[in-house]
Amino acid sequence: MSALDTDRYHIFGVCTPKDYCLFVDYVIDEIKNHESSLLQRIQETPDPALRVWRESTALQGTDIFEIECVKDRETAQEAVEFWRAYFHSLGETIIEAGHLCDRLD
């Protein structure tokens, strides 16, 4: 079995208590072990929506939470869309940004 066959895709959210804006995406790496790498990726991404958000919001590791874990990329992409729509239906402001990366290291 290859390493890719055992990968799990972690769906996560990033939300600050200051503005309650929410970014939802996925990565293969365990979120709890890579919070600083994830924050660094958000800081470095050229995505316009994330750039505007990060310039007005100081992100911390405590702002990251895992939502669920799925077994393949297609399911992860569908899950991100589902959770964005779900949180939006609850009245959350969703950061509509592209996918950051698959791996954090």
Residues 61, 67, 72, 78: is their CA dihedral positive or negative?
Answer: negative
pLDDT value, residue 1 = 38
pLDDT value, residue 7 = 75
pLDDT value, residue 2 = 43
Confidence of residue 20 (pLDDT cuts 50, 70, 90): confident
Asked if 99 and 49 count as a contact pair (C-beta separation under 8 A), the reply is no
Q: Give the domains, in start order, of the chain with CATH numbers.
A: 3-94 (3.40.1440)
Per residue in 57-101, pLDDT (tens digit) is: 888 888 999 999 999 999 999 999 999 999 999 999 999 999 998
